[in-house]
Amino acid sequence: MNEMNRIQLKKILISTNLSGVYDITDWTHEAVKVLLETCASTNQIITLKQNSRYFMPITYPSGPMLEMFIEAIISNAF
């Protein structure tokens, strides 16, 4: 995902009411990162669905912990 796509995705996410379940099964690491950063900055709680697994972060990690959290979800480490 290039920077222009990242900015566009963030604009779309900010303009919507982020609630409910997001199926991130085929999303890239960067797209999931934009989603979680947007949720964190707007104080919205969502549920992530990866294949048949569900995750509902209560607080969003930042920095290296965010990277590890995303990688664990998309790589089926849980």
Contact predicate 21/46, CB 8 Å: yes
Residue-range definition of the domain harbouring residue 60: 3-74
Confidence grade of residue 78 (pLDDT, cut at 50, 70, 90): low
Q: Output phi, psi for 51, to 5 deg.
A: 55, -115
Phi, psi of 50 (to 5 degrees): -125, 105
Whole-prediction pTM: 0.82
Task: Count structural domains, the chain.
Answer: 1
Residues 13-63 have pLDDT tens digits of: 888 877 788 999 999 999 999 999 988 888 888 999 999 999 999 899 999
